[in-house]
Structure 1
């Protein structure tokens, strides 16, 4: 399982062109769903209006070099390191999920398009990274779902309470979990059970990428832009946020770190 391409084995039942077409459709769903979300919620208009207002209200001009520096810092801190999360556990869970998902998706695309059949065996590193990425998603996703979510840790709600806002994380962990089960069962030679997991895998993956306008999937594109805008506003003096206190007071005797952000 860890060194064999599960999609190549699947080619005995499903032609590679079908798998490749499905992947392309999922990519188009991401693009189309994100664009629809932007137009429906007018996110781009809101962003550019704020950008223009911040520029007009700014007390100093930002040069091109400083703008590039702010963009690099945003990409490094908020983008690559999820620095916006104060809670170390949530940041770790987020990073596990994010990098695991990237590894999982990239290796899936490579194996489906470059090594679609046993006649073109994939390097062992690809299915290994696919499995590791999927396990990272499961670790980060289930950790967040059962132990970190604010409505579970702070509000005392059941971790099995579902809301529309949970659509992304639920469909993500279900898709990846079922994908791992499918790959494992297929490797054992149990064709009937493997087909069941394969059908569930397709269903969960379609829900994941097809529900973008109603889930938080597109936030991964909005958050870096919002973080960059915040840095620009702080740099040009147009930010209306209060400066952080030197020694913020912690009320009560139980001094705990924030649990919900």
Structure 2
């Protein structure tokens, strides 16, 4: 199962070009919807206004080399290692989900575009990465949803109470879960069930990438920008006169209502 490229197997029924067009369409949906989200919710304007306020309140100038260093620290700490999470469990769940998603999507793109036909031989590393990424995504997502979901502690909601902001994590979980089940039935030659779960996999993927305007998907792009701005304002001395970059107004779509931090 984990050594088989599932997209090569299904290419006998679905032409490779169809799968490739689908991937490109999902990519364009994410880019287009994110840009629309930035304009519609005025997120870029918010960051720009905060930057202007910071410059007026700054006590020292931050040069380009220092900003490059800050950008590197932001990438390695807040982005790559999620050091802003005070809870170890929350941080691990986030990292599992994030890296699982990146591995899964990368392997999907490689297998669909480089090894799409039944006659092509896919290096075993890519099917292995695809299944590993889906498993990491599922483990991290389910761990978060059932055990450390933020709004359970902050607002008293149960795991089964779904809100619009939950569309992102639920579609992630559905995509990874259906992908693994589809691969399992495909490797065992169960045609009816593999067809069903392939359809569910495509459906959940479409909801994930096509639902950017109604989910927290765009949060992935805002978060590094907010973290970078936070570090810059701290470096130039204006931090104490500005609101926390993470405390963006709710209309900017950065998720659920802010509450006092909880330690798990």
Residue 241 to residue 126, structure 1, CA distance change in 2 (3 Å) = farther
TM-score by length of 2: 0.90
Partner of 1:149: 149
1:157 Cα deviation from its structure 2 partner: 2.9
In the TM superposition, what are the counterparts of 1:175-186 in structure 2 within 5 Å?
Answer: 175-186=175-186
SS at match of 1:184: helix
Residue 149 to residue 259, structure 1, CA distance change in 2 (3 Å) = farther
Give the number of equivalent residue pairs.
246
Partner of 1:85: 85
Partner of 1:218: 218
Please give the root-mean-square deviation of Cα atoms over the aligned residues, in Å. Answer: 1.4
Alignment partners' CA distance in 1, 2:151 and 2:49: 33
1:156 Cα deviation from its structure 2 partner: 4.2
Q: Is the 8 A contact 1:4 1:124 kept in 2?
A: yes
Q: Is the 8 A contact 2:57 2:241 kept in 1?
A: no
Return 5+ residue gaps in structure 2 as ranges.
Answer: 243-260
SS at match of 1:122: coil
Do residues 128 (structure 1) and 128 (structure 2) align? Answer: yes
Partner of 1:114: 114
Partner of 2:197: 197
Partner of 2:247: none
Partner of 1:234: 234
In the TM superposition, what are the counterparts of 1:41-56 in structure 2 within 5 Å?
Answer: 41-56=41-56
Partner of 1:206: 206
Do residues 169 (structure 1) and 169 (structure 2) align? Answer: yes
Alignment partners' CA distance in 1, 2:240 and 2:167: 33
SS at match of 1:258: coil
Partner of 1:259: 263
Alignment partners' CA distance in 2, 1:142 and 1:103: 18
TM-score by length of 1: 0.91
Alignment partners' CA distance in 1, 2:213 and 2:263: 28
1:153 Cα deviation from its structure 2 partner: 4.0
State the structure with more CA Rg: 1
Return 5+ residue gaps in structure 1 as ranges.
Answer: 243-256
